[in-house]
Amino acid sequence: MKEETIPTKKLYDEDAYCREFRARVLSCKRLSDGSQNLILDQSAFFPDAGGQSCDTGWVWQEGASPLRVSQVRLQDGILIHTVVEQADPGYAGEAAPGHEGEVAPGHEEHVASWHEKQAAPGHEGQVALGSEEQVAPRHEGQVFQAGTEVFAKLDFEVRYDKMQQHTGEHIFSGLVNRRYGYHNVGFHLGDDEVTMDFDGRLEEEQIRELEEVANRIIRQNLPVTASFPSAEEQKQLTWRSKKEIDSESLRLVTIPGVDVCACCAPHVKRTGEVNLLKVESFQNYKKGTRVFLCCGERAYHLFQKEHGMVRALAQECTTSYENLPDRFHQMQQEIWQWKLRASKQMEELLSYRIQELPERGESLVLFLKEGEEEGSLLRKAANQLMQRGAVLCAVFSRKAEGGFSFVIGSPQNRANECLQKMKEAFAVRGGGSPEMVQGSVQETTAQELEAFFSGFRG
């Protein structure tokens, strides 16, 4: 077998809880940005795959400073670890327990050949995955030599969080499939968000029921197992899958009575480890439904955050949690009544201001005062001005971000004509009919606008 075709032994397939391990370096290539692509004979780092982001962690040689594993990808069965220099977290020099000194089965001769090549003239520093590429001489915290032993440690809290999320997703998706026949056609598990896309519409009541049943399954603490069924065994099985998978590499994750799904990712051993499942929100997506989900610590932190918000609102409204919706509705009604009264008073005051404006033959211009910026007042004021008989009636309201909103009316149907001339003189956006236009103007002053209208002759 060629060196570059030997697959990495994936320790996460055997033990999802493996957080530290030893391995032999098969190759190490320095990249132009200073990072390194490191290939090991075995690894517990899960790559970007199956809709899930990769594991991160640390790798080091005994007595040397650790390097950060920032990215892991799978290529032709080989795990490629992108390694960068980063501050020492305190792992240097430690021996990783478990898998001590092991070389993955099938790699013994491969590692031995590396030692031979390093000793052979003309082969110093030669690496796998492209024997024409050579690695620079090793120095502290930098390139690893092929054949040497390294220690590695995962950011296991992050890994375990993803295990909780992924198993929770299987529970929920399995229930959706069994109850409604919908398929999970899209899945994303990131550091902050989990989304599932189903090819059918789910209503709020259905999602609430699915969430309740999912948490019941979590409390039942059912086993979660992973298996690699043979081609013969596969003929007797039914499973979910987002895509066609080669029968030789099929890995099934099973939750008895709930779900059987093709999946390459690490999962918890029992559903009870998911702890809690909460649907954060959902929305119609394409012809189906997108569901936002969180489990475990994420769900607990969401509860903490939302409970704190509810408690603060209840205290502010001097009511109990149970009465908060009613109190909120009551306050909305009160606010609406006050706004209605204020609007009527503003209209009355505006009418007095309009009556006090001097008569003009060509144009009347009104600038609303602070507190009169409500959008509906612009049009109402313009309609009142038009009754004064002027050729043009313009009402302006200052915008918080700068400039003015405006409505221009014309009993003689010259509003569009005025708008075009404004666009020649100012930075204006807007449109409408010959009788009335509306829009906004930037980078000008009230004095400049008044001067424009006083000089407007058409």
Tens digit of each residue's pLDDT (9 = 90 or more) over 207-221: 999 999 999 999 999
Residue 94 to residue 292: CA distance in whole angstroms: 40
pLDDT at 18 over 50: yes
Residue 313 to residue 328: CA distance in whole angstroms: 9
Q: What is the mean pLDDT of the chain?
A: 83
The per-residue pLDDT for 107 is 46
| Residues belonging to the chain | 458
pLDDT at 23 over 90: yes
> Of 266, 316, 268, which is closest to residue 47 (Cα–Cα)?
266
Tens digit of each residue's pLDDT (9 = 90 or more) over 54-111: 999 999 998 888 999 999 999 999 999 999 987 655 544 444 444 444 444 444 444 4
118 by Cβ neighbours in 10 Å (0-12 / 13-18 / 19+) ranks as middle
The SS3 assignment for 112 reads: helix
Domains of the chain in start order, with CATH, are 3-154 (2.40.30.130), 158-313 (3.30.980.10), 339-454 (3.10.310.40)
pLDDT at 139 over 60: no
Tens digit of each residue's pLDDT (9 = 90 or more) over 290-337: 999 999 999 999 999 998 888 888 888 888 888 888 888 889 998 989
Residues of the chain with pLDDT > 90, as a percent, come to 47
Tens digit of each residue's pLDDT (9 = 90 or more) over 375-401: 677 888 888 888 777 788 888 888 878
Query: For the residues 416-442, what does the mean pLDDT come to?
Result: 91
> What's the token pair of residue 395?
């009402």
The SS3 assignment for 231 reads: helix
Q: Would you list the DSSP string of 11-35?
A: HHHH-TT--EEEEEEEEEEE-TTS-
Query: For the residues 175-191, what does the mean pLDDT come to?
Result: 94
Residue 111 to residue 24: CA distance in whole angstroms: 7
Cβ proximity of 45 and 144 under 8 Å? no
Residue 357 to residue 210: CA distance in whole angstroms: 65
Amino acid at 436: M
> Of 192, 112, 74, 96, which is closest to residue 150 (Cα–Cα)?
96
pLDDT at 202 over 50: yes
DSSP annotation of 443: S
The per-residue pLDDT for 361 is 61
C-alpha Rg value of the chain to the nearest Å: 34
Query: For the residues 117-131, what does the mean pLDDT come to?
Result: 39
Ranked by mean pLDDT, which of 77-81, 131-135, 144-148, 323-327 comes out on top? 77-81
pLDDT at 140 over 70: no
Tens digit of each residue's pLDDT (9 = 90 or more) over 157-171: 999 999 999 999 999
The SS3 assignment for 203 reads: coil
Say which residue, 112 or 7, is predicted with more confidence: 7
The per-residue pLDDT for 165 is 97
